Amino acid sequence: MANRMLQFVNLPQQTPQKRDATARRADFSEIYTDFDSSQARQQASRCSQCGVPFCQAHCPLHNNIPDWLKLTAEGRLEEAYEVSSATNNFPEICGRICPQDRLCEGNCVIEKGFESVTIGAVERFITDTAFARGWVRPPAPLAENGLSVGIVGAGPGGLAAAGQLRRQGYAVHVYDRYDRVGGLMIYGIPSFKLDKQIVQRRQLLLEQAGVVFHLNTEIGRDVTLDALRDRHVAVLLATGVYRAREIGGPGAGLPGIVKALDFLTASNRKVLGDTVAGFESGELDAAGRDVVVIGGGDTAMDCVRTAVRQGARAVRCLYRRDRANMPGSMREVKNAEEEGVEFLWLSAPEAFLGDAAVTGVRAVRMHLGLPDSSGRQSVEPVEGSHFTVPGTLVIKALGFDPEDLPAAFAEPALAVTRWGTLKVDHRTFMTGLPGVFAAGDIVRGASLVVWAIRDGRDAAAQMHAWIGQVAEQTAPVPQMAAE
């Protein structure tokens, strides 16, 4: 059979089609259409099957990318799905929202000159096809092992661990303070990047496998960590980071200045059909307003694009560095520009104007100076370069820090780093409390879904190993508590 691979020389890169920007502005649906099977096969066949695949090395999950690309190119989709799902609990989610330009695709060797293989889109196609054809099965165990584990946090880190541990035969109980499963995948990331149903069908599979979700249950308030440790043989903390970084300056407390996650959560709830007080009152609704978003990360990009869809009059993004130095994904900046967002690069807020509520932001132009000790160029204000941006809704998107977990959990023995993230032994994922493990953003700081999945999988493996050791030393191990 002729070699189906190495087609990058003949076949140009083709990304999934994007919906027209005008149509995108009018709804919250995903913006990329699916590959059809012939596009997926063709695009997968562009891979040159590298002996040392840099794409795989730069995927946090070390996905076996060349193998599933080859299987897709050969039309062996069920096998491609088996290979792809062996290393990733949620490939269809990563295929949609990983910043591939910084990870797998950005390191594809054919990137230089021929443009990379569209790895993320093929990954998404494989698993969406697997769902459509009924190949995706709940992560149910072959046999129960009679032991129970508790997981705090139903974000990607907690859910990946839940799937792995359930497969091993544990009774898995996941606790979350929210009313829905998914963490930031449901209340942070907007549905135009990740349709909510994609997250919800994963919840259903976990439930079908026997994972029990205890929603509206905040650990530290409704149940103590101590009680959880009594209930379960081991506990995983995957609580994420939620304390918004603040901005000071004159007028910073004016009504109309809101936090990014409050804005995005309200919008996501609305999309999910909830009645949201802050939205009904208009406080968190951008319709008809001049919106200014402060920040240059992916959260800022999600805010500007959400504001556009809510019918804002104008949407501007203020970022103190330039386009090349922004932390957000270039793909998202391009999408935002197409949708009508105006970027004010090298601009920093100095004061917020208005009496009863904010009416504008006084900003100053910045220039990039010499690199500091971290290697990043410093930013300096340009004297006399002040200007005013109209803004009746100002959204602060400056990043997140962890909450004070030792205080919230009344567990001073939970050690934290100087950034407030939980300290764990990086080989075992265990905190200072025996049998209490931690994973995801709460350990790493604000990061990515794919890293939370990786950590959740690794932590689950370490929990299993630790429980085995305890069983050997102190048989019998505490049995599963009745729920």
Interface contacts to ligand SF4, rule CB under 6 A: 47-50, 53-55, 59, 61, 63, 65-66, 88, 94-95, 98, 100, 103-104, 108-110, 117, 119-120, 123, 450
User: How far apart, in whole angstroms, are the C-alpha atoms of residue 352 and residue 368?
Assistant: 24
Q: Choose from ligand SF4, ligand FAD, none: what does 183 bind? Cβ within 5-8 Å by kind.
A: ligand FAD
Candidates 298, 339, 411, 458: give the one binding ligand FAD (CB under 6 A). Answer: 298
Candidates 108, 119, 151, 264: give the one binding ligand FAD (CB under 6 A). Answer: 264
- Is the Cβ of residue 16 or residue 120 nearer to ligand SF4 in the bound state? 120
User: How far apart, in whole angstroms, are the C-alpha atoms of residue 328 and residue 192?
Assistant: 17
- Is the Cβ of residue 55 or residue 308 nearer to ligand SF4 in the bound state? 55
Q: Choose from ligand FAD, ligand SF4, none: what does 199 bind? Cβ within 5-8 Å by kind.
A: none
Residues 434-473 binding ligand FAD (CB under 6 A) are 440-441, 447-450, 452
- Is the Cβ of residue 73 or residue 358 nearer to ligand SF4 in the bound state? 73
| Min CB(181)–ligand FAD separation in Å | 8
| Min CB(141)–ligand FAD separation in Å | 23
The verdict on 177 binding ligand FAD (CB under 6 A) reads: yes
Q: Which two tokens stand for residue 128?
A: 């969406």
Residues in the chain: 483
CB 66 within 8 A of CB 98: no
The verdict on 218 binding ligand FAD (CB under 6 A) reads: yes
Residues 332-351 binding ligand FAD (CB under 6 A) are none
Which value, in Å, is the radius of gyration of the alpha carbons in the chain?
A: 24
| Min CB(158)–ligand FAD separation in Å | 5
Residues 362-391 binding ligand FAD (CB under 6 A) are none
Candidates 54, 114, 135, 178: give the one binding ligand FAD (CB under 6 A). Answer: 178
The verdict on 176 binding ligand FAD (CB under 6 A) reads: yes
| Angle (nearest 5°) at CA 80 between 85 and 96 | 60
CB 177 within 8 A of CB 183: no
Q: Choose from ligand FAD, ligand SF4, none: what does 65 bind? Cβ within 5-8 Å by kind.
A: ligand SF4
Mask of contacts with ligand FAD, 26-65, x by CB under 6 A? ----------------------------------------
Cross-strand bridge partners of residue 430: 437
Stretch binding ligand FAD (CB under 6 A), from 6-14, 232-240, 318-326, 425-433? 232-240
The verdict on 153 binding ligand FAD (CB under 6 A) reads: yes
Q: Choose from ligand SF4, ligand FAD, none: what does 152 bind? Cβ within 5-8 Å by kind.
A: ligand FAD
The verdict on 239 binding ligand FAD (CB under 6 A) reads: yes
- Is the Cβ of residue 338 or residue 350 nearer to ligand FAD in the bound state? 338
| Min CB(435)–ligand FAD separation in Å | 18
| Min CB(122)–ligand FAD separation in Å | 18
The verdict on 155 binding ligand FAD (CB under 6 A) reads: yes
Candidates 92, 302, 411, 458: give the one binding ligand FAD (CB under 6 A). Answer: 302
Q: Choose from ligand FAD, ligand SF4, none: what does 157 bind? Cβ within 5-8 Å by kind.
A: ligand FAD
For the chain, give the secondary structure using H, E and C: CCCCCCHHHCCCCCCCCECCHHHHHCCCCCCECCCCHHHHHHHHCCCCCCCCCHHHHCCCCCCCHHHHHHHHHCCCHHHHHHHHHHHCCCHHHHHHHCCCCCCCHHHCCCHHHHCCCCHHHHHHHHHHHHHHCCCCCCCCCCCCCCCEEEEECCCHHHHHHHHHHHHCCCEEEEECCCCCCCCHHHHCCCCCCCCHHHHHHHHHHHHHHCCEEECCCCECCCECHHHHHHHCCEEEECCCCCEECCCCCCCCCCCCEEEHHHHHHHHHHHHCCCCCHHHHCCCCCCCCCEEEEECCCHHHHHHHHHHHHCCCCEEEEECCCCHHHCCCCHHHHHHHHHCCCEEECCEEEEEEECCCCCCEEEEEEEEEEEECCCCCEEEEEEEEEEEEEECCEEEECCCEECCCHHHHCCCCCCCECCCCCECCCCCCCECCCCCEEECCHHHHCCCCHHHHHHHHHHHHHHHHHHHHHHHHHHCCCCCCCCC
Residues 85-144 binding ligand FAD (CB under 6 A) are 97-98
**Interface ranges with ligand FAD (CB under 6 A):** 97-98, 152-158, 175-178, 183-185, 188-189, 193, 218-220, 238-240, 264, 298-299, 302, 440-441, 447-450, 452
